[in-house]
Structure 1
Amino acid sequence: MLDDFLVRAALAGFGVALAAAPLGCFVVWRRMAYFGDATAHAAILGVALSLLLSTSVFAGVLVVSLLMATLVSLLSGRGYAMDTLLGVMAHSALAFGLVAVSFLSGVRVDLMAYLFGDILAVAPQDLALIAVGVLLVVGLMGWRWSALLTATLDADLARASGIDPKREQLVLTLSLAVVVAVAVKVVGALLIAALLIIPAAAARPFCRTPEAMVLLAAVVGAASTTGGLQAAYWFDTPTGPTIVCLAAVLFVLSSFVALLKRKLARPAASSDALR
């Protein structure tokens, strides 16, 4: 079954959507969208360094993404506004990565594949790495779920409950680095943040509990990856951007449905008040 490149691509997309769903919800709840963007941009520098040192691209992206996320966490609140710090780090990492790639003489680098993904080129070994990454992220999220929710809700409440908010931030940082490393092949460094944020944002209006939001975000992400893969095959368009476009369409539809529900609920509430 894995000899079919479309099957491998679908499995890779489903795996990344599954890993991105819980992490994307925390990114939305904590308003860490730019944090995810900065970590994702560091992936290009990781690609360049791994090719330069003749090591695994997955390992290079994972290490550099983890270093970037940890560095931002350590520097935050030390004289710089968070958005300023993230802006500097994100664009600097991307620029250094692109410059480093230009120095790789004798190495053929498909830069577009790393920037926008090349899910159709997922090999069985890539699929194995994605599976390991998904299991690691899902395991971390499940293990620290209650503590992460408490720290997200209120840092003071977390401390009173014996939970260290900085430790939970580190768990999120590690998970984010792993998701970036496994998603580079699927949607590319420039679109990873979109796959994290858009499914979670689309799920948010319809969920009353965090667990329901994670499940619905996983469904939206899986529908975006598999549907985007099929649409790219039909219309001969770039696969990574097509996946994100479909996710954006689903977000617009969910926003429209949520708005319609609110408008329909107002007359009902007004008539109940009149009674």
Structure 2
Amino acid sequence: MPKRTNDYQKLILAINNHFALQSAKVTESAMLFDASTEQYREIDILLEDEIGGIKALVGVECTTVKRPLTVAKLDEIIAKHKDCHINKTVIVSKFGFANTTAIKAQKVGVELIGYEAALQKDWPAEFDILAGIQPYHVSCELLPDLSITTADDTTLIDFDLKGDPLVEGSDTTLSSYLIELLAQITGGLMLPPYLNGEKAASDGVKFSQSWVFKNGITIKDNAGRQVDIIAAKAEFIYRRQPLSADLQAGIYNGKLVGSSVVKNDDSYFKESRFTVSKDNNGDPKSGISITLSLDT
């Protein structure tokens, strides 16, 4: 059976990956065999791990029904998980749970987790910290218009500059060499501080950078021809794209959590999944955990 494309399920999958132990296996839309009906049943998210040498299965079901989860639905999930030999059941509901459902879940050991559909105004002040964390993908590309100045006794005639020649005495190409020099100038930010990066998320920011090589450098093309150069001027384009949208929020496993799933058809990544969490204990010094997963 193909994986679901439910965005809410993907969001919960990202959160479970965020909290899962490194030894755990997290599977979306897992199919488990139900011996009582002799058929495979789908579990929204399955976490598999070993505890004391014994394999433990945790089943997570995600519901988006636009009303609090009922006892009848709880019983249905419990029965399915029992028939599939799941050790622990977790239910995540976008619209909460009925009071009777919460009472029964507590008695039978089912964990209920509420997760809001959108960022709420009345979240604890600590969430401001989480909401302020924004990952970006930054790219800086060297454009083909490269201008170089040769030493007096060398010439570019018959030299293949477009083939990205090697820099003599190093294991890098000229384009990589210039990118490294740019990183040194900008402190690794790749965009000179005098330029405005606001347009970087749409059209990109184009700029040029020049270097004078006091002692000169030697470059060699694919045919083995060498040229000594004393200066270079390169054109770059800088792009900056956010990897998360407005965070959805909730209290998850006793922690304050924000998460988002963003599809980027026109980006380097098909999809980015960002999750950030903080202990919900009111201690401003408690640590923040961040997970960023990219689908290429």
Please give the TM-score of this superposition, normalised by the length of structure 2.
Answer: 0.20
Structure with the larger RCO, 1 or 2 (CA within 8 Å, 6+ apart): 1
Greater percentage in helix = 1
Please give the TM-score of this superposition, normalised by the length of structure 1.
Answer: 0.21
Greater percentage in strand = 2
